[in-house]
Structure 1
Amino acid sequence: MTNKKYTLKDITLYFLKLGTWGFGGPVALVGYMHRDLVEEKQWLTEEEYKEGVALAQLAPGPLAAQLGIYIGFVHYGLLGATLAGLAFVLPSFIMVVTLGVVYQLYSGLPWMREIFYGVGAAVIGIISISAYKLTLKSVGKVNLADIKDNWLLWIFYLIAVVVTVITQQEEVVLFIGCGLLYMVIKAPPAWIKKPNTLPVLFFTSAGFWNYSKETLEEIGLFFLKAGAFVFGSGLAIVPFLHAGVVNDHHWLNENQFVDAVAVAMVTPGPVVITVGFIGYLVNGFPGAGVAALATFLPCFLFTVILAPYFKKIAKNSSIKAFVDGITAAVIGALVASVIVIATRSIVDVPTALIALASGLILIYVKKVTEPQLIAFAAILGIIIKNIL
C-alpha cells in the first residue's frame, strides 16, 4: 500500500464533487476517476485502480459506485468506503427526487426528452473519449508493437466488445474466464503446477410523504434483488428494472419508465440512481429512499467484505495476471456499452454532429469541462427540437 497522499476529507469532497458534476454514466465516471486520482492527483497507483475495477466488476451492483466505494476503502477502510459511497450517490439522489416532485406536480416531463435529445448525443462523445483513454491505459496502445506484446488482452477486449453488443448485457462469467485463462498462461499459480495442492479461493409536495407500507416492502425486496444479482453498469440494470417495474409490478407505464431513464442520463452521478426517481413515483420519498438504499447496500457490503482479502492477495503474480485479464474484458464491455447507448441516442444527423463535436471539443479545447458541455448540449437540444 502506498503512503496516504490525501486526507479522508479530501477523498470525500472529491466524490461529492464527482457525484454533483460527473455526467456521462459508468464509462465516463470510471474514466474520470482514473484521470483525476491516478494520472493527475496520483492518490492511487495504477495497480490499486485496476484492483478496484476488477473487484467492482466481480461483485454485483453498479460499477461506478462500487469503484468509488473501493477507492474510499484503499487507505481509509470502512469509514472511507462509507463516506466515499455516500458522497458519490447523495447529490444525484437529491436531484432525481427533486425531479420526481416536479414530475408529479406537472404530470410528466415532455421537456425532458427535448433536453435528452441533445444531452444524450453529447454523452456519447464524452464516454467515447473516456473509453478510448481506458483502452490505452488498461489494454495497450493501438500500434503493432503493443498489440504484439498484449495480443491475448486484445483478444479478450474484442471478444467482450462483440459479446456485450450482441447480448446488450455484461457477462460476468466471461470476465472471470478471461481472468483465469490469462492467469494460467502468464503466471500459473503453484496449485496448478502441483496438482496435489488444493487452492484456497476467496470468492412536502405532491405525494412526498404518501406511501403504502405493503408497497414499500415490495419496493425494498425488488430493488435489493436488483442490487444483489445484476452485475455491471447501469446498462445492465435497466432491462432488469424494466421487466420488474413495468411488466411484473405495473408500477410505471412505458412513458414513465423512459422518462426515468432520461432523468438518470441528464443528472450527474451513477446512472442507476434512476431507482430513486422510480421509487419516488411509486411510493413518494420513502419509496425513493428504500429503493436507493436497497440497490446500493449489496454492492457496499460485497465491496467492503471482499476488499481486505482482495488487497492482500492482489500482489501475487498469478492474481495480477487474473486482474489484467478481467480488466481487458471489462474495458471491452464498457466500450461495447458506448456502442449500445449510441444506437439509442444517435438518431439523426444533428445528434451525430453533437456527439462528434463533443468528443472533439474535449480533445482540443482543454478549458471546456464536461458540465459546461452537457449544459450547452441541453440548450441545443431544446432549440433543435422546437425549430426543426
Structure 2
Amino acid sequence: MTQAPVRPTHGVSQREATAVWARIAAQSFGGPAGQIAVMHRILVDEKRWISEERFLHALNYCMLLPGPEAQQLAIYIGWLMHGTRGGVIAGSLFVLPGFLSILILSVVYALYQDTTPVQALFFGLKAAVLVIVLEAVQRIGKRALKHRVMWGIAALAFVALFFFNVPFPVVIIVAGLVGYLGSQRRPDVFQAGGHGGGKSQEESPDALITAATAPHVTPGWHRFWRVLATGLGLWFGPLLLVGAALGWGSVFWQQAKFFSVMAVVTFGGAYAVLAYVAQQAVQTYGWLTAGEMLNGLGLAETTPGPLIQVVQYVGFLGAFRDPGALSPLAAGVLASVVVTWATYAPCFLWIFLGAPYIERLRGNRALSGALSAITAAVVGVILNLSIWFALHVLFGQVTEVQAGPLQLSMPEWDTLSVSSLLLAVLAGVALWRFKLSTFVVLFGSALLGGLWFGLAPG
C-alpha cells in the first residue's frame, strides 16, 4: 500500500532553502572538512533548521557511502526538508560551481599548459596540495584513532596499500566488516567518534526539522524498487546513449564505464580514492601524467565543490587528446559532462534509496561500529596518498620496484627539487603554525611559484 506524501510543516519554503543551498555551494572550499563545517555553521548554528544530533546521524550514513560525503549530506538534508525535489536541488547546487570552475580551468590548462604563467601556477600549487593532504591525515587521524585497535586498522590499511598494492575497495570492505563484528563484542572501542556516536538522543527543541515537522517517507518494497529502477535508468541511460552515438571503443564510453565503477567503490571521500583514480588514469588508460594529476588536485582545491571534481579534469584531458570525430574542445566539454554525471548520479540514488531506512536506524550500534573502522582505515589510505603525492612533487623521477608480493615506489634521489621542498615547508608553516586558511595557503604558494619561475635563470 502506497502512503500519501506528507507535506512538511517546518515553514521553510523551497525558494528560501534554494537560496541557502546556493550560498553554501559558493563557500564550499577546503575539501570535505571545510564543506561540512560550512553546512554545520549555516544549517545548525545560524538557521537552526536541523539539530546537531540529526546532522551527525545523516553525516555518519554519508561517510559509509561511496562518493563525496559532503555533497551526499546536502542531498540528505535537502531530502529531509523538501523530499526528492529538495534533495535534487541541494545536491545539484553543491556541484554546479565546482563543475563550471573546473571546466574553465581545464580549458585554460589544455590550451596554455606550456606557457610559463600556467606552469608557474601549478608549480606552486603542487607544494601546497602536498601539505594540505598531510594535514588531512593529521586531522582525520586525531578524530578517528581514539584506541589502539583503530591505530592498528589504520596501520594495516597503509601497509596493504603502500607495500602490497591491495585494491582500495578490499581495504574498505574488510575494515567495515571488522567494525561491524567488533561492535558486537567491544562497542566501547568501535564507536563512531569522528562525527558523533551512535547514541540515540532527543532532537533539539529549537530545530525546525523534526519527525513531526518534516516526516520522512516510510520505507517499503514498492518504493524501494521504484526508486532503484528510476535511479539506475537516470544513471546509465545518458551514458549508454553516448556510447551508442560515439562508439563503444571511444574514450567517452571508457570514461563512462570507469567512473561509474569508481562511483561505487569511492569510500572515504576524494582523498582516499585519488590514488586509485591516479593509478588507473595515468598508468592504465594514459589519459594524463602523474604530474598533471597533481595539477588537477590543485585545481579542485582552489575551486568550490567536492574535491572529487578533479575527475572532471581527468576526463577533459583524456578526451581532449583523443577526441575521435569531435573537435578537441568539444570532446573535452562532453567528457566533463559524462564524467560528472557518472560520478554524481549514483549519489542521489544512494540517498533516496537508503535515507528512509537510515532514519529508522538512528542509534544503531552496528552502523556506528562499521563507520568507526572505515574512518580509521581511511587514515591509512590518506597516508598512502600523501606519500604518493610527496614522491611526485619532490622528485623528478619515481621508479616502481616489484619484489614478489611487494611493490614500492622508489625516488631517484638526484632528482630532488629543492625549490618544491622549500615551498612545501613554507606552506606547512603557514597552515600549521599560523593557521591560515586553505585558500590563502594555496594562493600564496601559487604566487611564490610564479615569482620563482620569474626569477629562475633560463
1:159 maps onto 2:161 in alignment: no
- Which residue pairs with 2:214 in the alignment? none
2:126·2:294 contact (CA, 8 Å) conserved in 1? no
List alignment gaps of at least 5 residues for structure 2.
1-9, 189-223, 225-244, 320-330, 396-416
SS at match of 1:175: helix
1:183·1:325 contact (CA, 8 Å) conserved in 2? no
1:118 maps onto 2:127 in alignment: no
For each residue in 1:29-72, what CA deviation from the matched residue of structure 2 results, as whole angstroms up to 9, or x when unmatched? 22214544457964677765665555445433345544554455
What is the deviation of 1:334? 3.3
Q: For the structure 1 residues 172 and 18, does the alpha-carbon distance in structure 2 shift closer, same or farther, using more than 3 Å as the test?
A: farther
5 Å-filtered alignment, 1:306-317, equals 306-317=354-365
List alignment gaps of at least 5 residues for structure 1.
24-28, 141-149, 189-201, 203-211
CA distance in 2, matches of 1:325, 1:334: 14
The equivalent position to 1:223 in structure 2, one of 252, 255, 259, is 259
The equivalent position to 2:419 in structure 1, one of 332, 339, 350, is 350
- Which residue pairs with 1:304 in the alignment? 352
Higher mean C-alpha deviation, range 276-285 or range 375-384: 276-285
- Which residue pairs with 2:174 in the alignment? 174
CA distance in 2, matches of 1:13, 1:287: 25
| One-letter amino acid of the counterpart of residue 149, structure 2 | L
| One-letter amino acid of the counterpart of residue 299, structure 2 | V
Q: For the structure 1 residues 247 and 11, does the alpha-carbon distance in structure 2 shift closer, same or farther, using more than 3 Å as the test?
A: same
Q: For the structure 1 residues 128 and 261, does the alpha-carbon distance in structure 2 shift closer, same or farther, using more than 3 Å as the test?
A: closer
CA distance in 1, matches of 2:54, 2:120: 41
| One-letter amino acid of the counterpart of residue 114, structure 1 | A
1:11·1:84 contact (CA, 8 Å) conserved in 2? no
What is the deviation of 1:290? 1.9
| One-letter amino acid of the counterpart of residue 259, structure 1 | E
CA distance in 1, matches of 2:138, 2:52: 17
SS at match of 2:360: helix
What is the deviation of 1:238? 5.5
1:12·1:84 contact (CA, 8 Å) conserved in 2? yes
1:103·1:109 contact (CA, 8 Å) conserved in 2? no
TM-score between both structures, scaled by the size of structure 2: 0.62
SS at match of 1:313: coil
- Which residue pairs with 2:441 in the alignment? 373
1:382 maps onto 2:418 in alignment: no
Question: Over aligned residues, Cα RMSD in angstroms?
Answer: 3.8
1:131·1:331 contact (CA, 8 Å) conserved in 2? yes
- Which residue pairs with 2:215 in the alignment? none
1:59 maps onto 2:65 in alignment: yes
What is the deviation of 1:229? 4.3
1:175·1:330 contact (CA, 8 Å) conserved in 2? no
For each residue in 1:100-131, what CA deviation from the matched residue of structure 2 results, as whole angstroms up to 9, or x when unmatched? 33345447566544322221221233343344
CA distance in 2, matches of 1:91, 1:155: 39
Q: For the structure 1 residues 221 and 183, does the alpha-carbon distance in structure 2 shift closer, same or farther, using more than 3 Å as the test?
A: same
Q: For the structure 1 residues 349 and 75, does the alpha-carbon distance in structure 2 shift closer, same or farther, using more than 3 Å as the test?
A: farther
Higher mean C-alpha deviation, range 103-112 or range 308-317: 103-112
Higher mean C-alpha deviation, range 66-75 or range 376-385: 66-75
Matched residues, percent identical? 23
TM-score between both structures, scaled by the size of structure 1: 0.71
The equivalent position to 1:326 in structure 2, one of 351, 370, 374, is 374
- Which residue pairs with 1:132 in the alignment? 138
What is the deviation of 1:293? 0.8
CA distance in 2, matches of 1:122, 1:94: 23
How many residues are paired up? 343
1:178·1:329 contact (CA, 8 Å) conserved in 2? no
5 Å-filtered alignment, 1:132-281, equals 132-140=138-146, 150-166=147-163, 167=165, 169=168, 171-187=171-187, 213-214=246-247, 215=250, 216-217=252-253, 219-234=255-270, 236-237=273-274, 239-240=276-277, 243=280, 247-248=284-285, 252=287, 254-255=288-289, 258-259=291-292, 261-267=294-300, 268=303, 269-281=305-317
What is the deviation of 1:291? 2.0
CA distance in 2, matches of 1:107, 1:363: 31
> 1 or 2, which has the higher helix percentage?
1
Q: For the structure 1 residues 159 and 91, does the alpha-carbon distance in structure 2 shift closer, same or farther, using more than 3 Å as the test?
A: same
For each residue in 1:347-373, what CA deviation from the matched residue of structure 2 results, as whole angstroms up to 9, or x when unmatched? 44433343333333234435x432222
1:279·1:289 contact (CA, 8 Å) conserved in 2? no
1:160·1:174 contact (CA, 8 Å) conserved in 2? no
CA distance in 2, matches of 1:161, 1:242: 16
- Which residue pairs with 2:102 in the alignment? 96
| One-letter amino acid of the counterpart of residue 447, structure 2 | I
5 Å-filtered alignment, 1:74-93, equals 77-93=83-99
CA distance in 2, matches of 1:242, 1:161: 16
- Which residue pairs with 1:143 in the alignment? none
1:57·1:172 contact (CA, 8 Å) conserved in 2? no
- Which residue pairs with 2:337 in the alignment? 289
SS at match of 2:66: coil
1:112·1:259 contact (CA, 8 Å) conserved in 2? no
CA distance in 2, matches of 1:261, 1:360: 21
What is the deviation of 1:284? 3.8
The equivalent position to 2:25 in structure 1, one of 16, 19, 29, is 16
2:76·2:87 contact (CA, 8 Å) conserved in 1? yes
What is the deviation of 1:374? 0.9
Q: For the structure 1 residues 338 and 15, does the alpha-carbon distance in structure 2 shift closer, same or farther, using more than 3 Å as the test?
A: farther
Q: For the structure 1 residues 14 and 334, does the alpha-carbon distance in structure 2 shift closer, same or farther, using more than 3 Å as the test?
A: farther
- Which residue pairs with 2:7 in the alignment? none
CA distance in 1, matches of 2:81, 2:312: 30
SS at match of 1:160: helix
1:50·1:327 contact (CA, 8 Å) conserved in 2? no
